Amino acid sequence: MQANTVVVSQKLGKRRFALCESCFWSATVFFGRDMSCPLCPDSTVSLIPLAKDEECRLKVSPSAGLELTFSSVRILPQ
C-alpha cells in the first residue's frame, strides 16, 4: 500500500489544524474554538494554530504510521 499525503496550505485568516488524539481524524478549522471528533465524540481534539504562511503535511503510511510536518509555504516565482 502506498503512503497518502495531504497538504494543508491556504492564505486565509486564523486557521487551526485539528487532530483527534484517539483516531487521528484531522481537518483544517477556520472558525470556532472547541470541537469534538465526528468519529469518536468523547475524545480530545487538539487544535494547532497555523500561521498565514505555514503549511501542514499529513502523511499516512502502513509502515511508518502518521507523520505531521509543519513548514513555511514556498512561493514559486511566476
pTM: 0.58
Backbone angles phi, psi at 26, to 5 degrees: -145, 160
Distance of alpha carbon 15 from alpha carbon 75, whole angstroms = 19
Beta bridge mates, 66: 60
pLDDT at 39: 92
Domain ranges of the chain: 4-72
Distance CA 43, CA 14 (A): 24
pLDDT per residue of the chain (78 residues) written in tens, 0 to 9? 455 554 444 444 577 888 898 988 888 887 767 788 989 988 889 888 887 777 778 787 888 777 878 788 766 666
Do the bridges between strand 54-61 and strand 45-50 make them parallel or antiparallel, or are there none, so unpaired?
unpaired
